[in-house]
């Protein structure tokens, strides 16, 4: 299980790997959709959708970079609905080619989020954030 410190602004590094190499190792011409699911115990199978980010083809083209990890896309995904009770999540990523055809899918492993305690002021009183 991967661990993310909270509060969280997820950054998904989409990089070339075995099953994604055909479309991520070069400039993509389509759009990307990233969904964030709450995998709380007792919830429905597959989790509850919390957020969805849609990256259009023009934005996706601008995000293509070559860095120390190689070619890929680093996505900043601001999580507006982040709450301390959400501690287990997963992401799904869908690439839709501009020319049509079957979309490509990937799902992350279960991610555990540790939310730090609220900062305290003098006398141990919780500070407004």
Cis peptide before 7 (omega within 30 of 0): yes
Q: What is the pTM of this model?
A: 0.70
Instruction: Convert 71-82 to b/e letters by CB count within 10 Å (16 or more is b).
Output: ebbebebebeeb
User: Residue 98 domain-assigned?
Assistant: yes
User: Residue 26 domain-assigned?
Assistant: yes
DSSP-based helix, strand, coil % in the chain, nearest 5: 10, 40, 45
Which CATH number belongs to the domain containing residue 26 in this structure? Answer: 2.60.40
Check whether 63 has a pLDDT greater than 70: yes
pLDDT tens by residue, 76-89: 888 888 888 899 99
**How many structural domains does the chain have?**
1
Write out the residue range of the structural domain in which residue 8 sits. Answer: 2-116
Candidates 105, 99, 108; CA nearest to 39 is: 108
User: Residue 128 domain-assigned?
Assistant: no
pLDDT tens by residue, 5-38: 444 444 444 433 333 333 355 678 899 999 999 9
């Amino acid at each position: 299980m991967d661990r993310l410190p909270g509060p969280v602004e997820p950054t998904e590094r989409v990089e070339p790997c075995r099953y994604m190499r055909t479309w991520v190792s070069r400039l993509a011409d389509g759009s990307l959709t990233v969904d964030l699911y709450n995998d709380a115990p007792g919830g429905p199978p597959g989790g509850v959708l919390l957020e969805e980010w849609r990256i259009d083809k023009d934005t996706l083209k601008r995000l293509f970079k070559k860095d120390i990890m190689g070619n890929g896309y680093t996505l900043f995904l601001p999580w507006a609905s982040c709450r301390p009770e959400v501690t287990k999540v997963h992401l799904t990523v869908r690439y839709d080619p501009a020319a049509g055809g079957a979309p490509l899918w990937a799902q992350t492993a279960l991610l555990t989020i540790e939310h730090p305690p609220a900062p305290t002021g003098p006398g141990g009183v919780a500070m407004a954030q």
